[in-house]
């Protein structure tokens, strides 16, 4: 009896082991989808998805791909991709074929071309550039496609938390849509220029190289900013992107189209970041350097020396305390080009008053 039971047990164990080994093969044989699977009905798209799809369809024809080459060649759009030194995005501004992009996209180049959403390539020329705002206006030449100017919104009434959408050409990938929110407002973008852009829109909508010059949109598909820069250790999107507010873009674009440049009231100084003044325990605007032949230079105002030692700090304007370059820039704009202001300048603990005339510093050399 015991031997028979043992034999039966061994047989069952062998059968179970065989079934365990064969199970994947049998399942593959019996349950494999040998014909196309039946599609499961999805139902309607969510309202938010439908809105985003409509936004992209409406706005994408207004977004272009900008190419620029340092040296002219027979064709900007040849297969010699290594000769295309700069690439970015742009927005169609009006029915005359003006395109807004970043100045750094086309700066230092001799040949510019644009690819429209239709796939058509057209050449373009620079109408005007405003390096201190990182904006430029291009004129498209002899296209066959109709223009689709982008809808313009406002940036003055934006609120942190609003939805944002960016369309551009990151890494050369045409017509890429990303989304996020307004992360912060009123940011200052360090650029090293005499006029560092202020009031910038910060967004976490992914912005990468190639998005520069493309639109930042609100949920209504209106332009609220022109994407300009990112903060990233790797050069890729880290969720901190900056856009030039559309209210500034509107003003600058109008001046560039009308006059070819943007008059910029100032005295020709480059100021340190506010955090540097705080670190040094100084209250005022630290002068890093002055531009050659500027009102500040002619008035004897000096920047930091070669060792980085601070020389001059502007502490008052017309007898009123000043704490930041943003306040000082606002005073320049309110006073206007050609008018004079009185600065209180501190050097080595000594204060002196200096009268300077506000000039158009957009034409001054940055050297």
What the block records as the tokens of 116 is 């429209």
Task: Let me know if 134 is a catalytic residue.
Answer: yes
What the block records as the tokens of 100 is 């807004």
Where does residue 128 rank: exposed (0-12), middle (13-18), buried (19+ CB within 10 A)? buried
Task: Let me know if 212 is a catalytic residue.
Answer: yes
What the block records as the tokens of 189 is 């973008």
Q: Which H or E run contains 50?
A: helix 47-59
DSSP codes of every residue in 303-329: ---TT-----EEEEETTEE---HHHHH
Task: Let me know if 293 is a catalytic residue.
Answer: no
Q: Which H or E run contains 261?
A: none
| Residue tagged active-site, from 62, 87, 89, 212 | 212
Beta-carbon count within 10 A of 336 CB:
10
CA angle 194, 196, 200 (to 5 degrees): 165
| Residue tagged active-site, from 65, 89, 98, 134 | 134
DSSP codes of every residue in 150-218: PPB--STT--TT-EEEEEE-GGG-SSEEEEEEEEEEEE----SSSS---SEEEE-S---TT-TT-EEE-
In 3D, which of 191, 201, 186, 187 has the Cα closest to residue 132?
Answer: 191
| Residue tagged active-site, from 65, 98, 104, 195 | 104
**HSE value, Cβ hemisphere, 13 Å, CA-based, for 61:** 13
First to last CA, the chain: 106
In 3D, which of 90, 87, 83, 105 has the Cα closest to residue 140?
Answer: 90
In 3D, which of 259, 235, 209, 257 has the Cα closest to residue 100?
Answer: 257
The answer to whether 267 and 332 are in contact (CB under 8 A) is yes
Residues noted as catalytic: 104, 134, 212
């Amino acid at each position: 009896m015991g031997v028979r039971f043992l034999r039966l047990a061994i047989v069952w164990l062998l059968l179970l082991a065989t079934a365990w080994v064969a199970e994947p093969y049998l399942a593959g044989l019996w349950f494999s989808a040998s014909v196309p699977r039946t599609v499961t009905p999805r139902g309607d798209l969510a309202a938010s998805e439908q809105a985003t799809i409509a936004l992209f369809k409406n706005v994408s024809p207004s977004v272009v791909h900008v190419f620029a080459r340092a040296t002219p060649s027979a064709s900007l759009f040849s297969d010699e991709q290594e000769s295309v030194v700069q690439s970015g995005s742009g927005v169609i501004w009006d029915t005359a074929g003006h395109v807004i992009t970043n100045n750094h996209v086309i700066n230092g180049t001799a040949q510019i071309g644009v690819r429209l959403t239709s796939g058509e390539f057209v050449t373009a020329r620079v109408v005007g550039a405003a390096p201190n705002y990182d904006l430029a206006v291009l004129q498209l030449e002899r296209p066959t496609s109709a223009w689709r100017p982008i809808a313009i919104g406002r940036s003055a009434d934006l609120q942190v938390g609003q939805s944002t959408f960016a369309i551009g050409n990151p890494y050369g990938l045409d017509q890429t849509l990303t989304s996020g929110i307004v992360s912060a407002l009123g940011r200052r973008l360090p650029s090293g220029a005499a006029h560092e852009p202020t009031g910038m829109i910060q967004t976490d909508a992914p912005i990468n190289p190639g998005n520069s010059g493309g639109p930042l949109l609100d949920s209504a598909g209106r332009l609220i900013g022109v994407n300009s820069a990112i903060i990233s250790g790797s050069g890729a999107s880290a969720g901190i992107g900056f856009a030039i507010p559309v209210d500034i873009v509107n003003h600058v674009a109008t001046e560039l189209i009308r006059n070819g440049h943007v008059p910029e009231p100032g005295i020709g100084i480059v100021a340190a970041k506010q955090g540097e003044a705080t670190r040094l325990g100084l209250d005022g605007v630290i002068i890093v350097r002055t531009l050659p032949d500027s009102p500040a230079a002619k008035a004897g105002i000096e920047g930091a020396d070669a060792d980085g030692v601070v020389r001059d700090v502007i502490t008052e304007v017309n007898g009123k305390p000043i704490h930041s370059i943003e306040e000082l820039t606002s005073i320049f704009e309110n006073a206007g080009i050609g008018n004079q202001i009185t600065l209180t300048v501190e050097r080595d603990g000594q204060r002196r008053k200096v009268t300077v005339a506000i000039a158009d510093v957009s034409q001054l050399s940055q050297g």
